[in-house]
Structure 1
C-alpha cells in the first residue's frame, strides 16, 4: 500500500510521519507555507523522544500524483474542506481507490461515498498539534493514538484489516470495527465542546457549558434514534493507552489550533452544527450547540484570538 495523506496537518502530518518512519510509502498533500516548509526542509515530527526531520514526498494536490494500484487516501482535512478535497480527488484518482476519513464529525464518509465506492471511517483519538509550518507534534507517548477503522456505513473487510495493520506497524492502536459510525457519533459527543474550548479556553465556567452542550447533543441523537458509544465505553477504549507526553502540552484542541493559526475557518458547522441540523430535522431545539457554532464561526471570520471570550459573555447570547 501507498498512503496518500490529503491534509498533512496535526493528525494527518503526525500519522504520515510515523507511517514513513515505519518504512511504509507515504505522499503528503499539503498547502501554503506548510507545503513549502516540507518541500524545502522536510517534515519535522516532535514527540517525547525528541525531534526528527524527514524527507517525505509532498505535493500541492492529487493531480500531481501518478496514481497506482494499492494507493489508499487518508483524508485528514477539516470537515469544511472535505467537499473541495473530494472534488479534486475524483478528478484524477481511480474510483476504486479506498478513501479513509481520519476526521472529526460524521458527514465526511457520506460525502466521500458519492464519489468513491470504498469508504472507511476512523474514530480518531490522537492528541496532536500543528501550529508552525513544517512541524507537527504527537502529544501522547509511546502510543500516539487510537485509530479504529470500519467500512462505511458498516462492516469490516480485508482492506480495513490491512489498513489497521499498517497503522499498528506505525505505532498506533487500531482494530477493525463493523460499527465504526457508532464510535464516531460517540466521538462527536466529545467534539461538540471544541467550539467553546476554542473561543473561551479553560476559564472557570467552561466545563459547565461544555457539559450542557454534550447533554443537549446526546438528547438530540437519542431523539433521532442514532446509536453512539456511551462515555464509559469510550473511556474504556482509551484506558491507559493514551498517555500525555507532557502535561497540558497543547494550548487547545483542533478548533483552538485553527483560531491560533488564523486559518479563517473552523469545523464547528460539522460538529455542533451536525447536532443543530439533526435537531431541526426532528423539530427540536439545540440552543447550546447553535450558540457554540455561531461563536466559533464569528471568531474564525473576524480573526479573533482563541480563548478571548468569557463564559459569561458566551452565555449572554444563548437565546439570541
Structure 2
C-alpha cells in the first residue's frame, strides 16, 4: 500500500513521516513554501528521539501522480479546505480503470465530524480517523511530534460505521509506525468525544493557555454546552474514563529539540497567519446542533466569532484582553 498524505502539516506530516520511517511507501502533498522545502531538503521530523531528515517524495497535487489500485488517500487538512481537495482527487483516474472516488480508500485524519460526510459524497470507501496526536507545524519543511513512547492514538473505522480488511490493514501499518491504532466499529463515537475537547481550541487560540480560574471556568462552560447539545441530539461518545483507559501512558508529552510547543491546531493557524481557522467546524458544529435541537450555545458562538475575526484580521494568538474574557464569562 502506498500512502498519499493530502496535507503534510502537523498531523499529516507526522503520520507520513512515521509511516515512511517504518518502511512504507509515502507521498506527501503540500503547497507553497512548505512544498518547496520538502522538495529541496526532505521532511524534517522532530520527535523525542531526535530530529531527522526524511527523503519523502512531495508533490503539489493529484496531477503529479499516477494513482495505483493499492493507494490509500489520507486527508489531513483543516475542514475548511476539504471540499476542493476532495473534488480534485476523487475524479482522478486510477491505473487499470476507474477513478479514485470509485476505487480508493480515503481516510479523514481530521478534527471535527463534517469531513466524512463531505467525503462520502465523492468517495465510495470512506474511513474516519480520530486523531489524538500532539504535533506542531510552524515553519516550512518541519513538523514536530512530542508524544512518547508513541506519537499518537489513531482510532480507525469505516464510515458511517463498521470495519473491514482495509481498516485492519491500515491500522496494522500505523501500529507498526509508533501509533496506537485501534479499529473501531463506531469511529464517529470517538470523533464526537474529540470534538468536545477541540471546543477549547478557539479559546486557546484567542486567549492563550487554558490556565487560571477565569480561563478554566470558560473552558468548563464551553464543554458543558457541547455535552448538552450532544445529549439533546442523541449523539453518544466515550466518557472520560473510557478515553483515559485507551490513552493510558501511551502518549506523554516530552520536550523536542528546537521546539517550544505554543498551542494546538487553531493556535498554530493564527501563529502562521494562515488567514482562516477551523472554528466553524468545531465550535460551529455545536452551534449548528444547538440551533437544530433548541439548546443555547452562547459561549461556543462567541468563541467561533472571535476565532474567525482573529484569523481574518491576522491577529497574533493569545491577544484577547482579560476584560473581554471576563465579559464572555459574565455574558
* TM, length-normalised to structure 1: 0.97
Matched, 1:222 2:236: no
Structure 1 SS opposite 2:5: strand
1:233 offset after TM fit, Å? 1.3
Residue 91 of structure 2 corresponds to which residue in structure 1? 91
1:2 offset after TM fit, Å? 0.5
Residue 95 of structure 2 corresponds to which residue in structure 1? none
Across the two proteins, how many residue pairs are aligned to each other?
320
Residue 60 of structure 1 corresponds to which residue in structure 2? 60
Q: Is the 8 A contact 2:228 2:295 kept in 1?
A: no
CA RMSD after TM alignment: 1.5
Structure 2 SS opposite 1:72: strand
Q: Is the 8 A contact 2:299 2:328 kept in 1?
A: no
Aligned match of 1:103 in 104, 107, 110? Answer: 110
Structure 2 SS opposite 1:243: strand
Residue 285 of structure 2 corresponds to which residue in structure 1? 274
1:318 offset after TM fit, Å? 6.9
Matched, 1:118 2:125: yes
1:316 offset after TM fit, Å? 2.3
Residue 243 of structure 1 corresponds to which residue in structure 2? 252
Q: Is the 8 A contact 1:287 1:318 kept in 2?
A: no
Residue 269 of structure 2 corresponds to which residue in structure 1? 258
Residue 96 of structure 2 corresponds to which residue in structure 1? none
1:27 offset after TM fit, Å? 0.6
Residue 169 of structure 2 corresponds to which residue in structure 1? 162
1:175 offset after TM fit, Å? 1.1
1:74-130 Cα distance to aligned partner (Å, 9 max, x none)? 110001111111011122152211000000000000110001111000111110010
Point out the more displaced range, 236-245 or 246-255: 246-255
Residue 42 of structure 2 corresponds to which residue in structure 1? 42
Cα distance between partner residues in 2 of 1:227 and 1:63? 40
Structure 1 SS opposite 2:253: coil
Q: Is the 8 A contact 2:218 2:329 kept in 1?
A: no
1:9-36 Cα distance to aligned partner (Å, 9 max, x none)? 0010011011111110101110111000
1:10-66 Cα distance to aligned partner (Å, 9 max, x none)? 010011011111110101110111000000111100111111111111111112110
1:312 offset after TM fit, Å? 3.2
Residue 78 of structure 2 corresponds to which residue in structure 1? 78
Matched, 1:141 2:148: yes
1:159-183 Cα distance to aligned partner (Å, 9 max, x none)? 1100000101111111110011111
Aligned match of 1:300 in 306, 311, 317? Answer: 311
* TM, length-normalised to structure 2: 0.94
Structure 1 SS opposite 2:103: coil
Q: Is the 8 A contact 1:287 1:319 kept in 2?
A: no
Cα distance between partner residues in 2 of 1:275 and 1:315? 22
Point out the more displaced range, 244-253 or 254-263: 244-253
Matched, 1:32 2:32: yes
Matched, 1:234 2:216: no
Listed as ranges, the gaps of 5+ residues in structure 2 are 93-98
Q: 1:68 to 1:197 in 2, by over 3 A?
A: same
Residue 183 of structure 2 corresponds to which residue in structure 1? 176
Aligned match of 2:196 in 189, 192, 204? Answer: 189
1:282 offset after TM fit, Å? 1.3
